[in-house]
């Protein structure tokens, strides 16, 4: 099924689809950053990579805020401005 950009009532909650003009440039960065985060968490947990992954976002957000470090997604957010 193909869905064009715009407004769609696929569920009781409306969903807006938008295209990002620089997606071709941004996607490799997203793949790298999210892959590094996944690998780090799997390493900490002692897990082998598998077909499913769930992150510990809340825990790491608290760590970044308390340490004053810049979260990795900030580079992505800054680039999109």
The domain containing residue 69 runs over which residues?
Answer: 17-79
Question: How many residues in the chain?
Answer: 81
- Split into its structural domains, the chain has a count of 1
Angle, vertex CA 57, rays to CA 66 and CA 80, nearest 5: 90
What pLDDT shows up at residue 67?
Answer: 75
59: in domain = yes
What pLDDT shows up at residue 72?
Answer: 63
Q: Is 69 helix (H, G, I), strand (E, B) or coil?
A: coil
What pLDDT shows up at residue 32?
Answer: 92
6: in domain = no
- pTM for this entry: 0.49
Mean pLDDT by 10 residues, the chain (81 residues): 68 74 89 90 90 74 70 62 55
What pLDDT shows up at residue 28?
Answer: 92
What pLDDT shows up at residue 31?
Answer: 92
Distances (CA, A) of 25 to 36, 63, 77: 18, 29, 14
75: in domain = yes
Residue with structure tokens 């790491």? 60
């Amino acid at each position: 099924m193909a869905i064009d950009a715009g407004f769609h009532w696929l569920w009781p909650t409306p969903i807006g689809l938008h295209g990002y003009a620089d997606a071709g440039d941004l996607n490799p960065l997203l793949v790298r950053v999210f892959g590094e985060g996944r690998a780090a968490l799997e390493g900490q947990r002692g897990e082998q990579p598998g077909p499913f992954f769930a992150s510990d976002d809340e825990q790491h957000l608290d760590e970044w805020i308390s340490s004053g470090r810049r979260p990795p997604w900030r580079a992505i957010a800054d680039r999109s401005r």
